[in-house]
Structure 1
Amino acid sequence: MTDARVPPALATTVRLLADRASAEPDRMALVVDGVGALTFAGWAARAEAAAAGLAARGVRPGDRIGLRFGAAGWADYAVGFCAVHRAGAVAVPVPAGAPPGDLDRMLGDCAAAGLLHEDGAEPGWSAGWTATVAALEASGGTAPEVQVRPDHLAQILYTSGTTGRPKGVAATHANLTFGCGGRRRPFAHSEHLAHAFPIGTNAAQLMLVTALDARPTVVTLPRFTPARFAELIQRYAAGTVFVVPAMAIELLAAAVPDRYDLSSVLLLGSAAAPLPGEVASRLVTAFPRASLVNYYTSTEAAPAQTVMMYDPQRPGSVGRALAGGQVRVAVEGGGPERVAAAGETGEVWLRSPAAPRAYYGDDEASGRVFHGGWVRMGDLGYLDADGYLYLVDRAGDVVKSGAHKISTLRVEEAVYQHPDVVEAAVVGVPHPVLGKRLAAAVVARGPLTAELLRAFLAERLPAHEIPARVVQVDALPRNTGGKVDKRAVLQMLT
C-alpha cells in the first residue's frame, strides 16, 4: 500500500496514527514484553472505540483528561492517549507512583474532567470520573467527528519537581509532533527500538510519538531490571536502545555485557539527565557496535535539544543544537540576548523552530522561563570555540563554599573515576564558617572509606572541591522520572 505521509505542517497524533493504520495496518507498532502488543490498525481501532466511550462520558474538545498507567500498561496507555486526542481533548500523563496528594494537585491544577487508569489498579482520585480503557472501548457508539488542528493543545506534562513544586508544561500538537511526517522515518536502521522509560515523563512521551512515526517497532517491558532489559535487547535484536543514566549505571553494575549479546545495538541514546563521562566511556566498551548519543533537553524546552555523539576528546560535552535548533549561553541574571563569550560560564538557553511550550495557567512562571522562543534551562554552562555545550551545574546546585563557587557535576565526574564507585551525588551542606561544604553520597561495589576516596580525589581536584563528608549508601533517592533527587540527598547528609 502506498505510504501517503501526513505533511509535517499538518501533523497531529490523530493524523499520524491514521496514516500508519492506512499504510501499514498489520505492522507491529508497540510491544510490551509478556503483556501485549498493538498493530497500527489495532491501535487506531481501539483508540476510535475509546474515543466514543469518552464522548459518552461527556468529554468535549479542550477537556483535560489524566492518564495514570504503570509500565505494564503501556499498550492501554497508548490507546488512551490517542483516544483523548481523537476526542479533541488534552492528555495529562501522570506518574503511576504519584502519591494521592501530588495526583490531586496535578489534576486539580489543570481542572481535569476525568482520569484513565490501568485495569486492576486503584485510580487514587475522587474529584472526577475514572475509567479503564477497556471500559471506554466497551461503551459502544461512535466517536463524533472533531477537528484537531496542530495549534490545539495536546498535552500537559508535569515537571519532575527537582527544583521545586511540579509545574504543568503545555504543548500543542505542532510541538509534540515536530519533525514527524517526513519522507524518511526515524531510526531506519532498526527493526526494533527498546526503552524502559516510565510513563509520565518527557522521555516516555518521546517514545510514544516515536512509535507513531518511526520505522522500528517500539518494545518495552513491564518492569525494568538490568537483566530483563538486556534480555529484551538480545531477544529482539534491538538496533536502537534508549536509557536514562541511572539505567545505564545499573546495566554496567550488573555486568550484563558479559552475559548477553548486545551486538545488535547500533545506536545507544541516553536522555533525561547528564551522562557522566566515565559512565559514557564504559558504555562504549559494553556496546561495541553502538554509537553512543547523549541528548540534552527538558520538559519545558522539548523538542529543542543538543545532541552529542560520544567523543573521547570531549567526554564532558552535551553537544550542539541540531535540526534548526539553537543553543545559547547568556550572562547570568539577564535574558538570552546578553550572550556570554566563548568559555564564559552563564545561563543555558535552548530554542527550536517548533511552536514553544508554556506553563499551563501560570503566566508569571512562564515569563521567567520562556522568552521569545528561547527556554531558560535552569543550568549553568559554557560553549567552547566550536559551539559545543558543557554543563557546569544546575543553577541551584552550585555550592558557594567560602570564596569558591563549586560545580557539583565536576566533582561527581571525578568521583565516578574511582573504579569501585557505581554512582554518586554531591551536594552542599551547611557549615558555620564557610557557609557550605561539600558532602557526597556514594554507591560502591564494596566498602569504600571516606579517607580512601578523598585520597583518590586529591590527585584530581583542588582541596576546596574534595567532599569533606562521604557517606556510602545502598542507593540514591530518585524522583518519579528517574533523576537523582538532590533535595533528598541533602536530607540524607544533614
Structure 2
Amino acid sequence: MTEPATEPAGGVIPVSTRVMNLATFLTQAARRDPDGIALVMGEACWTWAEFEARTDALAHALQTRFGLQKGDRVMCQSQNCMEMMQAMFATWRAGGIWVPANFRQTPEEVAWLTEASGARLMLCNAAFPDHAAACGVTTLAFGAADFGPSVQAITAEHLGSRPQVAVVDRDDPCWFFFTSGTTGRPKASVLTHGQMAFVVTNHLADLMPGLTGEDASLVVAPLSHGAGVHQLTQVARGVKTVLLPTERFDVAQVWDLVREWRVSTMFTVPTILKLLVEHPATAGADTSSLRYVIYAGAPMYRVDQQRALRTLGKVLVQYFGLGECTGNITVLPAHLHDAEDGPTTRIGTCGHARTGIEIQIQDDQGRELPPGQTGEICVIGPAVFAGYYRNPQANAKAFRDGWFRTGDLGHMDEAGFLYITGRESDMFISGGSNVYPREIEEKILTHPAISEVAVLGVPDPLWGEVGWAICVASAPVTEEELAAFVAPKLSRYKLPKRFLFWDGLPKSAYGKITKKMIREELEARGLLEQAPA
C-alpha cells in the first residue's frame, strides 16, 4: 500500500507562484495619470502615456523583430538617458533580463560582462561604438549610430503595437545586478520579479513614505545600479523623474532643477551629498521642496552628516544594503537624524532593520553574537537575491545556514541599531589587535582642515601591520600636527604610523572611495615599496 505524501505545514500546497511583471508598474502609473509628466531631461519631456506607448513599442520590436524570448539577457551600456528607462521596462515587459553595465567601464570589461551574463542582445548609447564592437552581439543604439538601428527609430516604427506581456513567477530573474568587483571579477547577482516587488514596497514603506504624483525625483547617480532601483520605486507611485541634462555634474544646475521642478526626493552617495552641501551655490539654493534626501553606498562620516543636516534640514534618510540585498538591510529615517549630539543621539549608526528583514551579527562559526560585540553582518529576508549567476563557489561562500554573509563587520546595540565597523577586507591586525579603519577615519575628520580620509593597513616588521592615513586637506596642516590632534582620541595601537596628503582620493564610478583603488594608487606611486616588509 502506497503511503500518502506528507502534507506540507499548514495543510496548503501552493497552487501558484505567479507574480506581477515589474513593467506593470508603468502601465498602472499611465492609467492613473496619462497626461502627467513622467520623464524630463533637458528640453525633452514624456507624459506617462507617452512613456507607456514607447515602452510597448520597443517591447513589441524586441519580441517580433529581434526574437527576444523569456529569460534572454539584454546588456545595456549607457549613461543616464530617457531611452535607458524605456529599455529597462521594455526588456521586462518582453520577458528579458536587464543587465546594465557601469557606463564608465572599458570596452573589454563590458565585453566580459556580456559574455559572463550570456547576453544575446545589447542596447548601447551612440557615444560608445567601441563597446558595441567589443561585445559582438546584436546591438540597438540610443541615438544615431553606425553599429545598429536606433531605439528611437524602432520605437517610431512600432508605435501603437502591443507586445505579449511576459508571464512571470516570483523567482523568475529580471535583473543581473553586477557587483562593483572590489575583489576580483564582478559577479552577477540575480534579482527576481518577486524579490523586486518586495523591494519597491519596502522602499516606499521605509525610505519614502507617502509619495504621490505631486512629488518629483532628481537622478544624480547612474541608473545602472542603486539609482535604477530607486527610480523603479518612483514609477510605482507616479512620481516624475528628472534626469540631469548632461553627463557633467554641476551643483548649481542641480539646485536649479530642484527649484524648477520642486524636487522632493533624491538618491545619492555620501561623497556626492558632501559635494552638494559644501558647494558655494548651495547657500542661495531653494531646497524647501526636499522631503527625502536618501544616501547609501557607504557610511557617512558624522561631521559630514551634521553639516548636511544643518544645511538641508531634517530630510536625510540613510540606508545600508548591498546589491545582493537590493539595498534592503537597514534604514535610519529622517526623524532619527540629529544634527546635535545628545544623550539620545545614536552617533554612527546606519539604522535599524528594514521591514521584513532580520539581521544577525555572527562569529566565524555562524553563531549569533550578543549586542556590542563585533562580527560579520548577516541577513535573511525577501530582499536577498537568488544567488550569483553560474557561480557555485561564490554562492557557497556567500550563504551559511540560509543567512547571506555581507562581508561587512559591525555590531548591534540593545535596541537593534546597527553600527558598521567596515569591510572584513578593510580590517587589519596590528600587534595582535584588530583595527577597524572607520573608527580612525571618523576621528581624523573632526580636524577642521581635513575634508576626506582613508585609512589602510600596511605591512610592518614589528607590528605585522600599521595604519596609513591618506588625507585630503582643505587648509594647511602638517603630519605632525595631525598626529598630535588624533593621539588623545585613539588607543595607541590604532594611531596611524603615517599621514599622507593627496589632492584627492580616487573614487569608483558611483562616487565611492574604495580602499582597493587607493592601495593601487599607493603602489603606482611606489610608496608601498618604501614600507618595510
Shared fold, TM over 0.5: yes
1:1-58 Cα offsets, whole Å, 9 max, x none, are xxxxxxx9833322111111122111222222x1533322111111111112222022
**After alignment, is 189-198 or 405-414 more displaced?**
189-198
Q: In the TM superposition, what is the alpha-carbon distance from 1:355 to its structure 2 partner?
A: 6.4
Measure how far apart 1:123 and its partner are.
Answer: 5.5
**1:355–1:279 distance in 2 versus 1, CA, 3 Å:** closer
2:44 to 36, 54, 57: 36
SS class of match (2:372): coil
Q: Is the Cα contact below 8 Å between 1:69 and 1:77 reproduced in 2?
A: yes
Q: Report the TM-score when normalising by structure 2.
A: 0.85
Q: Deviations over 1:319-353 (max 9, x none)?
A: 1112221111111x223xx1101111111012223
Letter in structure 2 aligned against 1:118: N
Is 1:103 aligned with 2:126?
no
Cα–Cα, structure 1 residues 96 and 426, in superposed 2: closer, same or farther, change >3 Å? same
Q: CA deviation at 1:168?
A: 0.5
- Deviation of 1:216 after TM superposition, in Å, equals 2.9
Q: Which moved more, 1:468-477 or 1:106-115?
A: 468-477
CA–CA separation in structure 2 for the residues paired with 1:207 and 1:482? 17
Q: What is the rounded CA distance, in whole Å, between the counterparts of 1:360 and 1:452 in structure 2?
A: 50
Equivalent residue in structure 1 for 2:230, among 199, 204, 207? 207
> Aligned ranges for residues 106-255 of structure 1 at < 5 Å?
106-122=113-129, 124-126=131-133, 127-132=136-141, 133-140=151-158, 142=161, 144-151=163-170, 152-178=172-198, 180=200, 186-188=209-211, 191-201=215-225, 203-221=226-244, 222=246, 223-255=248-280
Closer/same/farther in 2, CA of residues 35 and 63 from structure 1, 3 Å limit? farther
Task: Pick which of 210-219 and 480-489 moved more.
Answer: 210-219
Larger CA deviation: 275-284 vs 263-272: 263-272
Relative distance call for 1:354 and 1:401 in structure 2 (3 A) is: closer
Distance 1:117 1:186 in 2: 35
Residue identity opposite 1:145 in structure 2: Q
Instruction: Decide which of 62, 65, 88 is 1:54's aligned counterpart.
Output: 62
For residue 281 of structure 1, what is the amino acid of its counterpart?
Answer: Q
Superimposed CA distance per residue, residues 455-492 of structure 1 (whole angstroms, 9 cap, x where no aligned partner): 11113112222222222222211122222121121133
Matched, 1:432 2:465: no
- Of 460, 467, 471 in structure 2, the residue corresponding to residue 442 of structure 1 is 471
Structure 1's unaligned 5+ residue stretches are 1-7
Letter of the structure 2 residue corresponding to residue 321 of structure 1? A
Q: Secondary structure at the match of 2:217?
A: strand
C-alpha distance in 2, partners of 1:9/1:235? 42
SS state at 1:359 partner:
coil
CA distance in 2, matches of 1:164, 1:286: 39
Task: Determine the C-alpha separation between the residues in 2 that align with 1:162 and 1:459.
Answer: 33
Give matches, 1:64-463, under 5 Å. 64-71=73-80, 73=81, 75-122=82-129, 124-126=131-133, 127-132=136-141, 133-140=151-158, 142=161, 144-151=163-170, 152-178=172-198, 180=200, 186-188=209-211, 191-201=215-225, 203-221=226-244, 222=246, 223-288=248-313, 290-302=314-326, 304-309=328-333, 310-311=337-338, 312=341, 313-331=345-363, 333-335=364-366, 338-354=367-383, 356-371=385-400, 374-463=403-492
Rate the CA distance shift 1:144–1:478 in 2: closer, same or farther, 3 A. Answer: same
Structure 2 unmatched runs, 5+: 1-16, 142-150, 523-527, 529-533
The 3 A distance-change label for structure 1 pair 163 and 355 is: closer
Other structure's SS at 1:458 match: helix
Q: Identity of aligned pairs, percent? A: 29
Kindly tell me the number of residue pairs found equivalent between the two proteins. Answer: 479
130-139 vs 184-193, greater mean Cα deviation: 184-193
Structure whose alpha-carbon radius of gyration is higher: 2
Is contact 1:96-1:199 (8 Å) kept? no
Distance 2:460 2:494 in 1: 15
Query: Would you say the 8 A contact 1:69–1:199 is kept in 2?
Result: no
Residue aligned with 2:351, SS = strand
136-145 or 463-472: bigger deviation: 136-145
1:307-328 residue CA offsets vs partner (Å, 9 max, x unmatched): 0132441120011112221111
Alpha-carbon distance in 2 for matches of 1:398, 1:42: 51
Deviation at 1:280, TM superposition (A): 0.8
Shift of the 355–406 alpha-carbon distance from structure 1 to 2, 3 Å rule, reads: closer
> Aligned in 2, Cα 1:37/1:449: closer, same or farther, shift over 3 Å?
farther
Q: Which residue of structure 2 lines up, in the alignment, with residue 4 of structure 1?
A: none
Aligned twin of 2:6: none
| Equivalent position of 1:26 in the other structure | 35
The aligned amino acid for 2:45 is: A
Q: Distance in 1 between matches of 2:510 and 2:183?
A: 13
TM-score after normalising by structure 1: 0.91
* Farther-moved stretch of structure 1 (58-67 vs 308-317): 308-317
- 1:12 aligned to which of 14, 17, 21: 21
Cα distance, 1:100 vs structure 2: 1.4
Distance 1:143 1:59, change over 3 A: farther
Whole-angstrom CA distance in 2 between matches of 1:446 and 1:478: 21
How far 1:101 moved relative to its partner? 1.8
